[in-house]
Structure 1
Amino acid sequence: MTQTVHRPYNGRTTQPKEAIRQVYEFISAEYDDRIPGLTPADRRFIDTELDFILGRVGPEDSVLDLGCGTGRLTIPLAGLAKEVVGLDLCDGMLAVARRKAEEEGADIRFDQGDMCDLPYPDDSFDVVTSTLALMHIPLEARGTAFAEIARVLRPGGRLLTGVKNAAFEQLTRADRFATVDITDVDNKTLVFTGTRDGEQREAPWFSFTPDELEELFSDAGLRPARLRGNCVVAAWMADQILADPGIYSIVERLETALNETPPFSRFGYYILAEAVKPA
């Protein structure tokens, strides 16, 4: 296998990359405390995401989790796959992930690196996963990131991703599940409020429409295979209503029926998508 040589970020993308790295270096020590996932809507969101991604990984797969953060997906992936590698831009996030993996006895290699210049040979992985982190990639660098993902996937390999849906944002600016980390849609930023030092911090943040995501897949030589809307119903309901077990059960069944049915699937709060590298 040959290692492809890639151009580094240009001046326009280096600045946001460094801003992202600095924010997450600071936030790494408190990151897991900021995303408790305690509300019924949080639970529905997480259950749908995990079902989509973990349900498509098998015991023979070699998996790369991009923008792995503190190991939220990386650690459960280690219980399913033959090999798991987590990559993140931020050393602080990786330090937390390594500690958590060690505590849970998960065999994972964690690497520091850039999603737009992956430090792996061509055709290295059967599956690449990435949730949330792709939204930090500047718009002009998106094509590079997806081309890198396609490069390191083996023929027949799969990309599994979850990103915030810009089509949903066109209907409402409501940041449905936000508590302290807030999506500022108009200014294209993720705002970290309520930090331990009391200082608000911001990082670039760009959502995807389903059409944009499918176009990026195709431009990278990947075949769009599956698209699921995450929280196509729950995103519009108050937590007090979802807290009723009977209503939650109805919403769960309704979303199971609708989340892969167009046009409902294309207007979920988030998009879950699978793309395949042709064999």
Structure 2
Amino acid sequence: MDLAVQRAETRKSPQERERIDDLFRLVPVGGGLALDAGAWDGHLARRLAERYERVVALDLTAPTIDHERVTCVQGDITALNYPDDSFDLVLCTEVLEHVPTERLATACAELARVTRRHLVIGVPFEQDLRLGQTTCRSCGRRNPPWGHVNSFTMDRLRGLFAGLRIEATSLVGQRTGTNALAAKVFDLAGNPWGTYGQEQGCVHCGAKLVAPERGLTTKALMALGSALYFPGVWLRGYQPGWVHLHLVKE
């Protein structure tokens, strides 16, 4: 499937619409200049342009967004090329979970530095990174699902944004986790149910992730892994999938 079509289809899902609507309930209405840090397909930048006079859409590769109030730029949130207090609002969602862990604190400090007042972030909530992981057929190493190298709790988020006040918090969606035995069995099977449809390549070698072939051994291990996994889901249940925070610089 073409990448643009795949992204558009993702945005149409009920879960994605619920998540984005929840996120924008925290975005202050009205303002001069906003930054969409990690603009991806430009969907959120366009929505911000309904509320702000000008929007800067920033990503590692400059986005292509045809909108009179949106300026597309190339940039890295770990080293933003803007003075302190440049934006009335900074929005950052679907980004921090991808930032290399050793650079995460720097990225959060940069987001806080360039906002004048409001910062709205969205990250997966307490994600179990063993569930949905993949195995790279090029280097043989395991990858977290969707290239998510960071997992977030409320305590971790408070520490990362210690200099800002939490104005509002919202939890949305649902997800579950796995257990050590099921994860080990799926590892032995080559993680055939991993997120191989993701855009991101292997976080270790950059190669495209390709699902393993499902021979008899793989199928037997999948059956065993499922037997270990599903009772745990039934006992543990589900938890919110995403946490959204509206942070304020005093």
> Structure 1 length as normaliser, TM-score?
0.58
1:60 maps to what in 2? 31
Matched, 1:226 2:168: yes
Matching residue within 72, 83, 102 for 1:110: 72
Residues 133 and 62 (structure 1), Cα distance of their counterparts in 2 relative to 1, 3 Å cut: same
Structure 2: which 5+ runs fail to align?
Answer: 136-140, 177-237
Please point out which of 139, 142, 148 is paired with 2:104: 142
Cα distance, 1:72 vs structure 2: 1.8
8 Å contact kept, 1:127–1:158: yes
Q: Displacement of 1:267 after TM fit?
A: 3.9
Is residue 3 of structure 2 the alignment partner of residue 30 of structure 1?
yes
Cα distance in 2 for partners of 1:216, 1:123 equals: 18
Gaps (5+ residues) in structure 1?
1-26, 176-182, 192-202, 237-265
Q: Is the 8 A contact 1:146 1:217 kept in 2?
A: yes
1:224 offset after TM fit, Å? 2.1
User: How many Å separate the matches in 1 of 2:171 and 2:134?
Assistant: 21
> Does residue 161 of the first structure (1) align with residue 161 of the second (2)?
no
Asked whether the equivalents of residues 116 and 148 of structure 1 are also in contact (C-alpha less than 8 Å), the reply is: yes
Give the CA deviation at 1:108: 0.5
Compared CA separation, residues 75 and 121, structure 1 to 2 (3 A) = same
- How far 1:38 moved relative to its partner? 7.5
More helix by share: 1
SS in 2 for 1:115: coil
CA contact (8 A) 1:189 1:206 kept: no
Matched, 1:82 2:56: no
Q: Decide which of 120, 129, 144 is 1:189's aligned counterpart.
A: 144
1:207-260 CA distance string (max 9 Å, x none): 212221121111xx112222211115xx57xxxxxxxxxxxxxxxxxxxxxxxx
Q: CA deviation at 1:143?
A: 1.0
Q: After superposition, give the CA deviation of every residue in 1:30-66 in whole Å (9 maximum; x if it has no partner).
A: 1442451478xx4144224323325523222421000
8 Å contact from structure 2 (residues 134, 145) kept in 1: yes
Q: Describe the SS at the equivalent of 1:73.
A: helix
Who is 1:197 aligned against?
none
Deviations 1:145-183 (A, max 9, x none): 1111111111xx1111111122x538x93x6xxxxxxx6
Letter aligned with residue 167 of structure 2: A
Q: How many residues align?
A: 184
Amino acid at match of 2:110: E
TM-score, with length taken from structure 2: 0.64
Report the identity percentage: 30
Note if 1:274 corresponds to 2:246. yes
Residues 64 and 87, structure 1, Cα contact 8 Å, conserved in 2: yes
**Following the alignment from structure 2 to structure 1, what is the Cα–Cα distance between the partners of residues 145 and 61?**
17
CA distance in 1, matches of 2:77, 2:161: 15
- Tell me what 2:18 maps to: 47
Q: What one-letter code is carried by the residue in structure 2 that aligns with 1:228?
A: S
